[in-house]
Amino acid sequence: MTAGYIIALVCAIWVIYDVVSNQKSMSGGSKLLWIICALIFNVITAIVYFFVVKR
């Protein structure tokens, strides 16, 4: 059960870090939306972010 929380935390941190540091051309509203989604839907947001933005 603890491993699930750690995975969720790592996914949220990865999305937030990548949005803030690597996505310079992304608008402020999009960044805010990705950050909020990462905080609420950790693992799902990380998967969607990987396939939508990183590809």
Distance CA 28, CA 25 (A): 9
Q: How confident is the model at residue 22 (pLDDT cuts 50, 70, 90)?
A: very high
Taking CA atoms, 7 is separated from 18, 30, 39, 50, in Å, by: 16, 24, 13, 15
Tell me the Cα Rg of the chain: 11
pLDDT of residue 49: 96
**pLDDT given at position 5:** 94
For position 8, what pLDDT does the model report? 95
Reduced to 3 states (helix: H, G, I; strand: E, B; else coil), residue 26 is coil
pLDDT value at residue 55: 80
Domain boundaries, the chain: 2-54
pLDDT of 1 higher than 80? no
Q: What does the pLDDT average to over 15-31?
A: 95
Q: Enumerate residues 6+ apart whose C-beta is below 8 A from 9.
A: 42
